[in-house]
Amino acid sequence: MASDLRQMWTAADLGWRCEPAPAGIREFHAKLPGYVPTPLVDAPELAASLGVGRVLVKDESARLGLPAFKALGASWAVHLLLTGRPAGTALTLVTATDGNHGRAVARTARLFGQRAVVYVPEGVHPAAVAAIGDEGATVVAVPGPYDEAVRRAAAHPGGTLVQDTAWPGYERVPGWIVDGYSTLFAELDDRLPTAPDLVVVPAGVGSLAQAAVTHYRSGSARPALLTVEPETAACVLASLTAGEPVTVPTGETALAGLNCGTVSSLAWPLLRDGLSAAVAVTDEETAAAAQALAAAGVPAGPCGAASLAGARAALPALDLPPSATIVLLSTEGREANPSSITKQALGMILPNRFR
């Protein structure tokens, strides 16, 4: 059930604009083994339940052979790191992860003949950790939260950091990662004759949300943009509410890939100026959303299902017409970060309003 006091932030659209992502990124991805645009699933049952005209789900459960969207950013960043270096250059690519980004860096390292070291915090499911190791990476367990894993990865001796969050002095590579996500939104444009009214984006440190803002605030289309986070780790929402970046303590959540306590310094200015709303949801709401997405044919993991949970929670506060088209970014499949919490919740008898 939803908490009695809904954690939410909204802003008026003041017409703020930014520069677009660089050209040529989708063309790069199209040359990678296994590239195909991920599905955009029409979900009329969800549209009816939300009281809107259309709901479309961008299903990222099979992106470049991995169960999440992260390979788009990791591959583009590593490509640029290697560009111009002599053939046979050997790098040790280092990152911290809640699961999906680390596996994407490990897969990309293997694809380009490089080594990878991945720091993993507490709370990541053992199957997700094993999947990173299966890609050939060295996995380092960190007895602490995600922010601590990031600190340790950044201090790794002799490594080249490929991190999807930024801080002052470390922004070039995270910027490349965000640019890589632009392919996802280019695919959406190909499928939609007109821009949607609302795009819902799960937010950890805010990098994918930054890519959404970059895409939709650099052109003529201006859909509302909503971020969704777990109540136990809502660093974007807390920062928007405070009007400045703040770090929040994190706790246990089924949304392991969003269990982040500090917003990316690179993302923050764009999120502050370009988002329409932000909301936090519970694990129970996300589990119910995962069940509804499964019924619609989308195998969403907890982070992917957060988009629907956030739309359900936030729509009463958003001024959308009854004919609105909503795009939900389902950022990971069920296999990305298995969760006993979610599996238990999905087995519950759920109220009709959650179906």
pLDDT (tens, 9 = 90+) of the chain, 355 residues, equals 334 457 999 998 778 999 999 999 999 999 999 999 999 999 999 999 999 999 999 999 999 999 999 999 999 999 999 999 998 889 999 999 998 999 999 999 999 999 999 999 998 999 999 999 999 999 999 999 999 999 999 999 999 999 999 999 999 999 999 999 999 999 999 999 999 999 999 999 999 999 999 999 999 989 999 999 999 999 999 999 999 999 999 999 999 999 999 999 999 999 999 999 999 999 999 999 999 999 999 999 999 999 999 999 999 999 999 999 999 999 999 989 776 444 444 443 233 332 2
Q: Which residue among 98, 164, 179, 283 is the active-site one?
A: 98
> What is the rounded distance in angstroms from the CA atom of residue 247 to the CA atom of residue 168?
15
Cα–Cα separations (whole angstroms), residue 36 to 56, 57, 198: 18, 16, 25
Cβ–Cβ < 8 Å for 129, 120: yes
Q: Count the neighbouring beta carbons within 10 Å of the beta carbon of residue 33.
A: 7
Q: How many residues does the chain have?
A: 355
> What is the rounded distance in angstroms from the CA atom of residue 37 to the CA atom of residue 296?
19
Burial of 167 (0-12, 13-18, 19+ CB in 10 A): middle
Cα–Cα separations (whole angstroms), residue 235 to 145, 253, 330: 14, 14, 20
pLDDT at 351: 33
pLDDT at 350: 34
- In 5-61, where do the E strands start and end? 8-10, 40-42, 54-59
pLDDT at 339: 61
Which among 202, 206, 224 has a CA at the least distance from the CA of 317? Answer: 224
pLDDT at 13: 79
pLDDT at 307: 98
Instruction: Output the six-digit token pair for 58.
Output: 């961008």
Which of helix, strand or coil describes residue 108? helix
The residue to which tokens 């939709």 are assigned: 216
Which of helix, strand or coil describes residue 253? coil
Which of helix, strand or coil describes residue 330? strand
283 catalytically annotated: no
Instruction: Output the six-digit token pair for 51.
Output: 């009281």
pLDDT at 3: 42
70 catalytically annotated: yes
Q: Count the neighbouring beta carbons within 10 Å of the beta carbon of residue 31.
A: 7
Residue 277, C-beta contacts closer than 8 angstroms, at least 6 positions apart: 8, 9, 10, 11, 224, 225, 226, 227, 314, 317, 318
> What is the rounded distance in angstroms from the CA atom of residue 191 to the CA atom of residue 211?
18
pLDDT at 106: 98
pLDDT at 5: 57
Instruction: Output the six-digit token pair for 194.
Output: 């007109």
Q: Which residue among 4, 13, 31, 70 is the active-site one?
A: 70
